[in-house]
Chains A and B, each alone.
Chain A
Amino acid sequence: MSLLSNEVELLRRVPLFAGIEPGKLKLLAYTSDVVTYEPGQVLVRKDDIGDAAYVIIEGDADVSVPADTGDITVAELHDGDFFGEIAILCDTPRTATVTAKGELTALRIRKEPFFQLMKQFPEMAVEMTRLLAERLTRTTADLIEAQQRQSA
């Protein structure tokens, strides 16, 4: 059984939450739900409107996007991975589907507590910005690389 104290430990290992004091992480954990998924059950589906972000407590998941030839797995998620934040930050539909590979337990962080925490702890917002900027840099680099490859 998942307990608050374990969840706090887990959250601390997520880079986004690393700078936040444990007491506040406990609040985040308490106001979130622990959800267990069966193998093959979908956590988030591409194009759905999202209202929560997830931290995997235990288990593995596939990230996939549908294609003409069937779903293509683009990444894998493991214990402690954090995902789904884009959809709740920008109210955009989910960008990919996440499916539990085996039995999986995740902490479902609802939009409201997440925003409350961001508001209360600027350091978390800064960390979030930094994370997103990093991702943007990487995506930009990927894009440039892809364009170069195409023109080559």
Chain B
Amino acid sequence: MDQSIFRYTWRFSKRDQIWLLFVVVASLPFYFLSLDLPKQIINGPIQGEGFSSPTDTETALRIAFSIPAWLGGGGNEFVLFDGIELERVTMLVYLCTLFLSFVLINGAFKLYISVFKGRLGERMLRRMRYQLVDTLLRFPLPQFRRMRSSEVATMVKDEVEPLGGFIGDAYVQPAFLLSQAVTAMVFIMLQSVTLGLVAGAIVAVQVILIPRLRRRLLILGRQRQLTARALAGRVGEIVEGIIGVRVNDATNWERAEIANRLGKIFFIRFDIYQWKFLVKFINNLLAQVTPFIFYLIGGYFAITGRLDIGQLVAVIAAYKELPSPLKDLIDWDQQRLDVQVKYTQVIEQFTIGKVLDPELQKLDTNTPPRIDREVAASGLAIRDDSGATLLEPTSLKLAPGDAVAAIGPVGAGGEYLAEALAKLSEPDSGRILIDGSPIEGLPDSFTGRRIGYAEANTYLPQSSLMNALIYGLRHAPLRSQTEEETRETRQWLTEARASGNTETNIADDWIDYAAAGAEGPEDLLVRLREVLVLVDLENDVYRLGLRSKMPEEALGEMESRVLAARDAFRERLVKNRGEQYVEMFDPDHYVVNASVKENLIFGVSDPDAIDGENTEDLYLAKVVTDTGLEEKLVNMGLNVAETLIDLFGDLAPDNPLLERMDLMSPDEIDDYRAIVRRASAGELSEVEESDRRALLRLAYGYIEPRHRHGMLDDDLQTAIVAARQAFRDNLPEDLSGAIVFYQPGSLNSAASVQDNVLFGRIVDTYAEAVERVNALLRETMDSLGLTDAIIELGLSFDVGSGAKRLSLAQQQKVSLARALIKRPDLLVVNRALTALDANAQDATVTRVLDFARSISDPGMAVFWVLGHPGSGQWFDRVLTFENGRIAKSEERTSGTEEGRALEPAK
């Protein structure tokens, strides 16, 4: 990108800028005429100039011009149209209509120019942002180690933003203002050269002095930008590293650090303000002082007769026109410098020695050739930034179907070789050839599809689990989804082109089904499930699906199937003599294994669907009061509180038993102690509202089989079931739709699939109840063919920012699955499963190797840096790395279990 924003702007918007200048020039005569007309209206029809008698007429619409004498015109007038004669009132109407039309024309010009400028600016902004991200994508990888993500984000988002607004004005504004200022100056000069010189001198002072003063402002502006960017970086770091901050009690250090930065920013900004207003003050002063000089000198000239009064008035009037364009011009200059600083600051960050050739990342809709001979590393050596050797010169050959394991301590070299094989690091010497071509010259469309790479800490952006898994299948838009070209799509494309953005459509189907071994969208799920089983993630996804609620659009289709599953599950439960494991929901009976609150509401609420102030809790409180249940529940809460305080009240605050208290959190004990004291002092009905609410909360969470205080007698249960009925019958308008009640024989759209199928609560006081129920549930789903739908549901699970809603082990499995789904020719696994125990890792290794061998003949090549050397036995060859070199290479010929030691590869 160009170093100057002007050159950049000119390069990409030459034609637009010239057109804009043309339009501005074209608008000027109309502007001038609209300024001139009021004078004519007042002098003519209103004041009566030329209309001395009522029958007088004046000529309108006369079009004539004279050629000046110096052009040889000789003062003759050429009349094109003689015009029409109008009376005074008609003239007034005519002139006013003319005025109105000029106003409209001016307005139209203004609108057109503003819109044009705005679009131009927005296009340039879009172009710039796109180019920045495009460049970012081509940065060499080591560069990213030195970057803070949130700083880059501010640059792309905030720092280039003002540039867009400026670009529309970049050329037009100065040209326009300058022409105005020059006209005024020339006018003054024509009236009186002396006064013209005076005005010129003052303008010169303004033009020279002010920018000098503003230079300091620029330096401050740059500092402000840098400090603000660093602040964004730091805040980003706090968010990313919040765990580190908390476990090290570093919050106060962070506070101090941030406060320190804010202090610096404050003083920079305050300095800016001081300078800004100083400059403004001087600017205004100069502007105000000039009339003083005019009055004095001009007045003196007038008295001495060297200047007539009319001239003086004209000069002062013309000078009035001068400051505003001048001021705008200086402002524009200020903005120019400001924007230039911002631009340079951003460009500097994005101008680094060697970005990748765009050709390497070119969009390619074709299927790249397969690796059918070998991947060969020869004399490959890798050093880190500081020059320390990570990998001594190493050679390795991988033919299709080869499974090679690398073992050895962390950092011994295997992982660096793995990175180099995935084109993630640049070797210091030596090279990697894939079917004879050097890897660094191969486009991403080849390496990114033919090589699969998985490591332990893959960053997963926020998306559905499905999208996280098929990320590696989205290389190019393969199937167009747009049926017909509409005006919108055409405009969409035109704009993308005008801003130099890619014209590929994100709405197209980008998924390379063939690469996953699928025919199309229909059987992709089958392939996905295969891979999920390989990495042992299928069960996790299934469970996620079970715990999800069904999407609204699928409800109709799912209803009958889920209801059938409910019956089938019940049947299976009975057949396996497990009825007692699940306590069914029954609207007319108390569900002992659910909490009091669950029993009262007997449904699932969807907080998003509540419109209005009436929340579920408020309404519940009302129902409890109205049904007379409140006294009983408050009493119950009081009982629970007393018991808990009795049991746990004397324990030291750090006693781990407190964690098993449930219902109440350890730091609430003292609050409740006070509440119990207040409540026991008087009548129960006189307990204060806030205390009541606190006690009610305890009662709401109470589950008899778990807490065992023995407080739910039959009467209370009946009363609660009655209140349940009242809750449901009187549901206020703004809550209807927000709470979906459990009802036998119908689907609860707000509840999870599991709750819908179980339609009850697992009685977890039975040994192994949860495990048995889960097993029966899976059997039911499998037999009804519902598992696919549930897995699909699980795949729509939102993994959260940075996949924080998945466990580390799950994230690592996703990373490996993502490398497998695209069926690469070379699979590189770099200690990717560190969060799994040795047995689980070993099981995954064997499954993946079977898959790699069976998928094609001769199968995919595998280079696996193992976390546990024991799994080495499943590979064809095991390389032991020590201190950056291969210390031992053992080959396992098929059929023999014994390893055969080979010479270390050179």
Interchain CB contact under 8 A, B656 and A116? yes
Q: Which of A4, A26, A33 contacts B765 (CB 8 A)?
A: A33
Assuming A26-B646, A33-B765, what are 12 further A-B pairs, CB within 8 angstroms? A3-B708, A3-B710, A4-B709, A4-B710, A5-B710, A26-B647, A27-B648, A30-B647, A36-B765, A36-B767, A41-B768, A43-B767
Interchain CB contact under 8 A, B710 and A23? no
Interchain CB contact under 8 A, A4 and B708? yes
* Distance in angstroms between the alpha carbons of A109 and B647 in the assembled complex: 16
Residues of A within 8 A of B660 (CB): 30-31, 113
A-B contact list, 29 entries, CB within 8 Å: A1-B708, A1-B710, A3-B709, A3-B710, A4-B708, A4-B710, A7-B708, A23-B647, A26-B646, A26-B647, A29-B708, A30-B708, A31-B657, A31-B660, A34-B708, A34-B765, A35-B765, A35-B766, A35-B767, A36-B766, A36-B767, A37-B766, A37-B767, A38-B767, A41-B768, A43-B767, A112-B656, A116-B656, A116-B657
Residues of B within 8 A of A43 (CB): 767
* Distance in angstroms between the alpha carbons of A72 and B660 in the assembled complex: 38
Interchain CB contact under 8 A, B657 and A112? yes
CB proximity of B607 to chain A, nearest CB, Å? 32
CB proximity of A33 to chain B, nearest CB, Å? 7
The yes or no answer to A137 lying at the interface (CB within 8 A) is no
Residues of A within 8 A of B655 (CB): 116
**Residue of chain B at shortest CB distance from A116:** B657
* Distance in angstroms between the alpha carbons of A33 and B768 in the assembled complex: 13
The yes or no answer to B29 lying at the interface (CB within 8 A) is no
Q: How many A-B residue pairs have CB under 8 A?
A: 52
CB proximity of B356 to chain A, nearest CB, Å? 54
CB proximity of A57 to chain B, nearest CB, Å? 11
The yes or no answer to B705 lying at the interface (CB within 8 A) is yes
* Distance in angstroms between the alpha carbons of A5 and B656 in the assembled complex: 23
The yes or no answer to A139 lying at the interface (CB within 8 A) is no
The yes or no answer to A2 lying at the interface (CB within 8 A) is yes
Restricting to A1-51, which residues have a CB under 8 Å from any CB of B?
A: 1-5, 7, 23, 26-27, 29-31, 33-38, 41, 43
Q: Which of A1, A36, A38, A113 contacts B657 (CB 8 A)?
A: A113
Using a CB–CB cutoff of 8 Å, the interface residues on chain B facing chain A are: 643, 646-648, 655-657, 660, 704-705, 707-710, 765-768
CB proximity of A114 to chain B, nearest CB, Å? 10
Using a CB–CB cutoff of 8 Å, the interface residues on chain A facing chain B are: 1-5, 7, 23, 26-27, 29-31, 33-38, 41, 43, 112-113, 116
* Distance in angstroms between the alpha carbons of A27 and B649 in the assembled complex: 11
* Distance in angstroms between the alpha carbons of A7 and B709 in the assembled complex: 11
Residues of A within 8 A of B657 (CB): 27, 31, 112-113, 116
Residues of B within 8 A of A35 (CB): 765-767
Residues of B within 8 A of A38 (CB): 766-767
* Distance in angstroms between the alpha carbons of A113 and B707 in the assembled complex: 16
Most buried by B among A2, A34, A36: A36
Residues of A within 8 A of B708 (CB): 1-4, 7, 29-30, 34
Residues of B within 8 A of A7 (CB): 708
CB proximity of A94 to chain B, nearest CB, Å? 15
* Distance in angstroms between the alpha carbons of A30 and B646 in the assembled complex: 12
Interchain CB contact under 8 A, A34 and B705? yes
CB proximity of A34 to chain B, nearest CB, Å? 5
Residues of B within 8 A of A33 (CB): 765
**Residue of chain B at shortest CB distance from A2:** B708
CB proximity of A52 to chain B, nearest CB, Å? 11
Residues of A within 8 A of B765 (CB): 33-36
Q: Which of A1, A23, A31, A34 contacts B646 (CB 8 A)?
A: A23
* Distance in angstroms between the alpha carbons of A7 and B707 in the assembled complex: 12
* Distance in angstroms between the alpha carbons of A33 and B704 in the assembled complex: 12
* Distance in angstroms between the alpha carbons of A30 and B768 in the assembled complex: 20
**Residue of chain B at shortest CB distance from A27:** B647
* Distance in angstroms between the alpha carbons of A121 and B186 in the assembled complex: 104
Closest 3 CB pairs of A and B: A3-B710, A31-B660, A4-B708
Residues of A within 8 A of B647 (CB): 23, 26-27, 30
Residues of B within 8 A of A31 (CB): 657, 660
* Distance in angstroms between the alpha carbons of A30 and B660 in the assembled complex: 8
